[in-house]
Amino acid sequence: MIPLEWMPPLMFGGLIVIMLIGYPVAFSLSALGLMFGFLSIYLGFFNFNFLQAIPGRIFGSILSNELLLAIPFFTFMGAILEKCGLAEDMLDSMGQLFGPVRGGIGYSVIIVGFILGAITGTVAAQVIAMALISLPVMMRYKYNMRYATGVLAASGTITQLVPPSLVLVVLADQLGRSVGDMYLGAWGPSLLQIALFMLFTFLVSVVKPNWVPAIPRDELSLRGWELWKKCLWGIIPAAVLIFLVLGTLLLGLATPTEGGAMGSIGAIVLAAIRHPSLGKPGKRIALIGLIAAGVAAIIGVWAFKSVPFKVAIAVLYLVVAYLCIRAAAIPDLRKLIVAAYEATMRLTAMVIFILIGSTCFSIVFQGVDGGRWLEHLLTSLPGGAWGFLIFVNVFVFFIAFFLDFFEIVFIIVPLLAPIAKTLLTPIVGEDAALIWFGVMLCVNLQTSFMHPPFGFALFYLRGVAPKEVKSSDIYWGAIPWVFLQLILVALVVAFPKQVTMFLDTPVAYDLDKVKIEVPAIGEPEIPTPGQGAPAKSGDPLQDLLNKQEETDEKAGKALEDAFKK
Amino acid sequence: MRALLTLSRAIDALNERLGRVANWMILIACVISAANAMIRYAFDISSNAWLEIQWYLFAGVVMLGASYTLQRNEHVRVDILYTQLPERGKEWLDLVGTAVFLIPSCLLIGWLSWPFFYESWHIQEHSGNAGGLLRWPVKILVPVGFALLALQGVSEIIKRAAALRGYVRLESHYERPVQ
C-alpha cells in the first residue's frame, strides 16, 4: 500500500524517467498520467469518474481555446517571411549603413534581429535567414568566427522575448494572464537585451579591434540616396507588418490570434509584391492598394467609418485579396506557401499534443495533491521568495538543456504558477506578479536555444554555415552570449520595475478589453468585439464597461473611447 | 506478415489523406480569422459563427493531423538517449513504446471522450452564443482523433516489427521539429 504523500514524488520521478526513454513526449506523458490515475483509483485516492475530467479539459481548455490558434498563425507567418527575402534586404542595407564602423555588421545583425523579432516569433526563420546573408559577409571581412556565430545565434533568439513572441502567448495562456499585459511587460527586458548585446559588441570592438574590423568605405556597393532607399524598402514593409500584428492588438482592434492571421496574410502579400513575376499590372494594382490605405488613413482621422473611408478600405481589401490570389498563381510562391502550411500543420498537432499529454499528467498530479506537495517543497526553501526565484531559474536553466520551451511551459509552468503567485504578490502586487514571473521565465528560456551542444539556434546555424566554420567555433561562440542572457535574467529578477512600469500606464485599460476576448479556461464564450456597444445586458463587454465606469470613471471612459473606434 | 503490411499501408494512406485535410484547415482558418478581423474593423459586421468556426478548424487540425504527424515521426522526443541507440534499438523502443504508451492511452482517452460527444449529439447541443454553431461536429473529433492515432499506432507497430524481422527497410529517421 502506497500512502498518498508518496504519490507526487513518485509521479515526478516517473516523469523524469519516462521522458528520458525517448519515446515521443506527448504520449509518454499521457500514458504516465493515466497509469498513475489507475493506480490511484486502485488505492482509493479518487474514483473512476475523476478521469472524466480529461476529455472535458482537452475540449474545454485546449481545442476550444482561441488563443492557442495563435501558434499555427505565427508559425505560418514565420515560415513565409523566412523565404520572402525581407531579412536579406534589411541585413544588406543595414550592414552597409553600419559597416564602416567597427563591429558594424554585428550591430546590424542585432538591430535586424530585433525588427524581425517584432514581426514574428520563430527562431528558426530568423537564424537561418540572417546566417545565410551575414555570415559570408563577416567571413569575408575577417570577423572573428566565434563572435560572428555567437552574435547570429543570439540575435536569432531575440525574437523569443520581443512581442509578439509565441513564447509569451503560450506563457500568458498557461499563467492565465492577458497576452497584451504579457507583451507590455516584455518590452523593458527586450530593450535592455538589445542594449546589452550592443554594449558587448562595443566592448569587443574596443578590447579586440581586429575581431570586428570595419569595412573600408570604398568597398560598399551602395552610397547616399541609393543606400537609404534600400533601407526604407526593407523597413517600411516591416513596419506595416509590425502594425498588423502588434499595433492592432495595442489599439484593441484585434485579438493576438487575429493579429497573427493578419500578419500571415500580410506576409503573403509582401512576398507577392516582392516577387519579380508579379509584372507591371500587378505592381500597379499593389500601388492602388497602397494609395487606398493612405487615403483611408487620412479620412479616418476626420471622418472615421464614414462612407468614403469604407470605400477606401474596401479598395484596399480587394487589392489584398487580388495579391493573395496572384501569389497562389505564381508557381514558386505557391510552393512556398504550401510547404509553409504543411509544416505548420504538423508542428501545431505536435505542440498541442504535448499540451494534451501534460494535461493528463497534471489532472492526476493535482488529484493526488501534487500541487500542495510542490508548494510545500518550494515555499520552505531558504530565502523565501528570492530563494524560490533563484531555485526556479537555475532549475529551468538546466532543464532547458533537455526540453524545449513548449514542453517546459506546458509541463512545468502550470505547477509553478500558483506558488509564484503567492510568493511574488507581496513584492510587485497581485496583478503584476505572474507577468513578472512569466517574462523572467521567457528570458531564461531564451538560453535553451543557445546551450551547446543541443541549442536549436546553434543547430540551425550549423545547418546553414559554410564548411569552413568549425562546430567548436559555433559552440564556444555561443557561451559569452549565454552569460549575457544570464545577466539579463538576474537583472529581471533584481529589478522587477522594468517589467511592471509598462503595466501601470493607462494603455493597460484598453487591453482589458482584449483580456475578455480570450477566455483561457472552460467553455469559451466568444464575445463579438467591435460591434459598437449594444446596450443589451449579458454582453460581457458591456458588463466590463459598466464595471469599469463604476470603479474608475476615467478608465471606463478610456475603454469606451477605445471601444468605439 | 504480408497481410499486415497491406493493412499498415491502408492505415497510412487514410491518415495521409486526413493530414492533407488538416493542412487545408490551417489555411482556411487563417484566411477566415484575418478576413473576420478586417471586415469587423471596417464594416462592423461580425458573427459568432465565424468566430467559432476558427477554433472548430483548429480542433480539426489537431485531431486529424496528429496521426499523420506520428506517421512522419515528427512528435518531439527527448532525444539524448534516443539518438545514441542503434537502428534496431530505435525500432524496438518505438515498437514497445507504441504498444505500451500510445495505443492504450489513446484508446482510453478516446473511450472517455465518447459520452462527451454522445450527450452533445443526443441533446443537439448548440453553442451558448447567439448565432453559434452546433457542438457535436467538433466534439466527435476528439474520440475520432484518438481512434485514428491508435490506428496509426497499429500501423507503426507492424512496420517496426516487419523491419526488425527483415521484411522491409524502414526510414525511421528522426529530427527535432523546427520551431
Angle between helices A430-446 and A413-428 (to 10 degrees): 130
Closest CA of chain B from A313, distance in Å: 7
pLDDT given for residue A453 in this prediction = 66
Interface test with A, best of B51, B156, B179 (most A CBs within 10 A): B179
How many angstroms separate the CA atoms of B20 and A442, rounded? 34
> Which tens digit of pLDDT belongs to each residue from A233-266?
888 888 888 888 888 888 888 888 999 999 999 9
Q: Bigger pLDDT: A516 or A44?
A: A44
Q: pLDDT digit string (tens) for A16-38?
A: 899 888 899 999 999 999 999 99
C-alpha separations of B99 from A28, A541, B79, B156 in Å: 11, 49, 20, 10
Give the bridge partners for B126, in sequence order.
Answer: B134
Q: Do B47 and A350 touch (CB under 8 A)?
A: no
State the Cα–Cα distance between residues A119 and A87, nearest whole angstrom.
11
Start-to-end CA span in chain A (Å): 64
Q: Among partner residues B61, B75, B106, which is closest to A348 by beta-carbon distance?
A: B61
Would you state the pLDDT for residue A249? 86
Alpha-carbon distance A470 to nearest alpha carbon in chain B (angstroms): 22
State the count of interchain CB pairs (< 8 A) between A and B: 241
Q: Which residues contact B60 (CB under 8 A, 6 or more apart)?
A: B21, B22, B25, B138, B141
Residues of chain B with Cβ-Cβ distance to A460 below 8 Å are 178
Which DSSP symbol is given to A414? H
pLDDT digits (tens, 9 = 90+) for A359-381: 999 899 988 888 888 888 888 88
pLDDT at A505 over 70: no
d(Cα A297, Cα A294) in Å, to the nearest integer?
A: 5
Q: Is B101 on the interface with A (CB under 8 A)?
A: yes
pLDDT at A441: 93
pLDDT at site A469: 87
Q: Are A116 and A443 in contact (CB under 8 A)?
A: no
CB contact under 8 A, A528 and B51: yes
> Given this model, what pLDDT does residue B173 score?
66
Please give the pLDDT value at position B27: 94
CA distance A52 to chain B (A): 6
Q: Report which secondary-structure segment, H or E, holds A258.
A: helix A256-274
**Which range among A179-183, A273-277, A526-530 shows the weakest confidence by mean pLDDT?**
A526-530
Whether A347 sits inside 8 A of B179 (CB atoms) is yes
Looking at the predicted structure, is the pLDDT value of residue A532 above 60? no
Å between A64 CA and nearest CA of chain B: 6
Q: Which long-range contacts (CB under 8 A, 24 or more apart) does A308-317 make?
A: A309/B42, A310/B42, A310/B43, A313/B42, A314/B42, A315/A288, A315/A289, A316/A289, A316/A292, A317/B38, A317/B39, A317/B42
Q: Smallest CA–CA separation between A417 and chain B, in Å?
A: 24
- What is the phi/psi pair of residue A429, to 5°? 95, 160
Claim: this prediction has a pTM higher than 0.90: no
CA distance B9 to chain A (A): 20
CA dihedral (B146, B151, B157, B158) in degrees, to 10, reads -170
Q: Which three cell numbers stand for residue A519?
A: 477566455
Indicate if the pLDDT at residue A556 is higher than 70. Answer: no
Collect all residues of chain A within an 8 Å Cβ-Cβ radius of residue B78.
Answer: 19-20, 22, 25, 402-403
The answer to whether residue B21 neighbours chain A at the CB level (below 8 Å) is no
- Return the residue in A19, A23, A315, A410 with the most chain B beta carbons within 10 A, the one to mutate for interface testing: A23
Contacts of B77 in chain A (CB under 8 A): 22-25
Question: Is the torsion defined by CA of A396, A508, A71, A60 positive or negative?
Answer: positive
Q: Which of A90-99, A192-201, A209-218, A469-478 has the highest mean pLDDT?
A: A192-201
Q: Which residues of B touch A454 (CB under 8 A)?
A: 80
Question: Residue A292's pLDDT band (boundaries 50, 70, 90)?
Answer: confident
- Phi then psi dihedrals of residue B134, to 5 deg: -65, 140
Each residue's pLDDT tens digit, B8-47? 999 999 999 999 999 999 999 999 999 998 888 878 787 8
Residues of chain B with confidence (pLDDT) below 50: none
Q: In this structure, how many other beta carbons lie within 10 angstroms of the beta carbon of residue A454?
A: 18
Confidence (pLDDT) at B172: 60
Contact A124 B178 (CB under 8 A): yes
Give the confidence band of A121 by pLDDT, cuts at 50, 70, 90: low
Average pLDDT of span A498-520: 52
Would you give the distance in Å from CA B81 to the centre of its chain? 26
Residue type, A146: R
Per residue in A266-283, pLDDT (tens digit) is 999 988 888 888 888 888
Question: Does residue A310 surpass a pLDDT of 50?
Answer: yes
Chain A contact present for B51, CB below 8 A: yes
- Write the DSSP assignment of A486-528 as a string of letters: HHHHHHHHH-THHHHGGGGSTHHHHHHHHHHHS--SSS-----
Assign A330 to helix, strand or coil.
Answer: coil
* B142 to A58: CB separation less than 8 angstroms, yes or no: yes
pLDDT at position A136 is 87
List of chain B residues whose C-beta atoms are within 8 Å of the C-beta of residue A124: 178-179
Which residues of chain A have a CB within 8 Å of the CB of B150? none
Task: Map grid coordinates 487514410 to a residue.
Answer: B14
d(CA A117, CA A121): 6
Q: Is residue A553 pLDDT above 50, yes or no?
A: no
Q: Are A261 and A72 in contact (CB under 8 A)?
A: no
